[in-house]
Amino acid sequence: MAFRETITDFMNSKVAPLAQRLGDSKYLRTISQSMMSMLTPLIVGSFAVLLNAFPVSAVSDFIASIGLNTVFSAVYRCTTGAMSLYVVFLMAKNLTEKLKTDEDGTLAGVLALMTFLVLTPTDTLEDGTAVLSFTWLGSQGVFSAMLVGLVVGRIYTFFRQKGWTIKMPSSVPPMVTRVFDSLFPGITISILAILVCRLFNATPFGSLHQCIYSVIQMPLQGLGGTLPAMILTSLLMQLLWFFGIHGSNVISPIVSPIWMAMDAENIAALAAGEAMPNMVGYAFFNIFTFSGTSLALVMLMLASKSKRYRELGKVAAVPILFGIGEPVVFGLPLMLNFDLAVPLITNNAICLAIAGGLTYAGIVAPCVGVSTVFGMPLGFFAMVGGSVSVVVCHLVLQLVVAPLLWMPWFKRVERRELALEAEAAEADAAKA
């Protein structure tokens, strides 16, 4: 068993500290927390688009006939279509509150929003009306928003930590002093924003947003937004789960901004009545790796001859329908269980490959990019995919493919478990 000891040792000495370092990173936690807060506006926006572009034309025609389609378009534009405005605020607020726990980050958020808007190119119509284009407020500006939010949050906290402020005589009321406390970092940040804005105006990019979009966001989406990259990511996540570490929680802050931006691009295309630009995205990943395929394993356990597996199956059955897999991971257990390691690590990847292949072949429609809601039960979870073929593919993967993938490995451990139970029963009989 030296091999197993080596692996366990490797886990304790290398994997756990790495996961801990990632989990400790205040920046990564800020990104993940902020993206999670975005779910509500993103879902509202997605549904507005879905209703306008409803697959059944009777529904979309009715919505148009009562004039709701323009309202829905406005709802979409101010939610998903303006997601960068929310992101920049949340990033600065959350980072400030993480770096300096006794600080209210609201002002940092406001300053970040201000900076972002200063950096966004504005225009003037022929009649003299000043306009702000939505170009950079939606998915295209997300990475710029993240960066601006984090930098402003960091600078703001730096000022507050140093206690740099305009000193007031002690007779000045504390409320007034507090105004000056925030004015100093505010003015400094706005001067920086003006300088950066002017600097990028002088480059061929024209604005910071365009620069970040071309230099960072596009290459990252090209690299991380492909099916092979997604499959690799899922293998890594599942490997962490094998070590008993919440893999999705460790990895998703790194990949979710890329995938969520791609989902937002798909929704934008749907709103504009164009073809989906991205085959994969966060919704695609979540829909086709629902429950880490352990729902299938619970089904096998419920049907098992082993008493312990049936008991565990009952405990795990309801949670797993809602995508909560911890009882299986720790109860069976899957954690550090070498007999089930292969399906645990590879099943998600296989499901993603199958779903990707079917989407590529045009058999399954691409996911329209509506955010999935964790906690929605099996089947319903996939409805945000926006078409019946996505739901069917999700159900077939969960209820047919995944059980087949688990079966041979599960049968092996079940045989051993049954032998153990028979032994225990014999021992009991001998005692009686």
Partner 1 sequence: MKTIVLVCAGGMSTSLLMNRMNEAAKAAGKDVETTAMSVEAFEKYSGPCDILLLGPQISYRKPQLEALVAPRGIKVAVIDFADYGMMDGASVLDKALAQIGA
Q: For residue 386, is it left (φ>0), alpha (ψ between -120 and 50) or beta?
A: left
Which of residues 7, 27, 28, 33 is near partner 1 by CB under 8 A?
33
- 16 or 392: whose CB is closer to partner 1? 16
Tell me if 108 contacts partner 1 by CB under 8 A. no
Kindly calculate the radius of gyration of the chain based on its CA atoms and give it in whole angstroms: 26
Site for partner 1 in 208-237 (CB under 8 A): none
Tell me if 110 contacts partner 1 by CB under 8 A. no
Tell me if 301 contacts partner 1 by CB under 8 A. no
Which of residues 24, 102, 126, 428 is near partner 1 by CB under 8 A?
24
Tell me if 378 contacts partner 1 by CB under 8 A. no
In angstroms, what is the minimal distance from the CB of 57 to partner 1?
38
Beta carbons within 8 Å of 50's beta carbon, 6+ residues apart: 270, 368, 370, 386
What is the rounded CA–CA span in Å between residue 411 and residue 141? Answer: 50
What is the rounded CA–CA span in Å between residue 196 and residue 360? Answer: 42
- 53 or 316: whose CB is closer to partner 1? 316
In angstroms, what is the minimal distance from the CB of 15 to partner 1?
9
Structure tokens at 248: 């999705």
The angle at the Cα of 363, spanning 353 to 42, to the nearest 5 degrees, equals 75
The answer to whether 282 touches 265, Cβ cutoff 8 Å, is: no
Structure tokens at 384: 């945000």
Site for partner 1 in 236-275 (CB under 8 A): 241, 244-246, 248-250
Scanning 61-69, 297-305, 308-316, 341-349 for contacts with partner 1 by CB under 8 A, the matching segment is 308-316
Instruction: Say what the alpha-carbon torsion angle 137, 142, 143, 145 is, to the nearest 10 degrees.
Output: 60
Tell me if 328 contacts partner 1 by CB under 8 A. yes
What is the rounded CA–CA span in Å between residue 166 and residue 154? Answer: 20
Tell me if 101 contacts partner 1 by CB under 8 A. yes
**Concatenated DSSP letters of 13-24:** IIIHHHHHHHHH
Residue ranges that bind partner 1, judged by CB under 8 A: 16, 19-20, 23-24, 29, 33, 98, 101, 241, 244-246, 248-250, 311-312, 315, 319, 324, 326-333, 335, 374-375
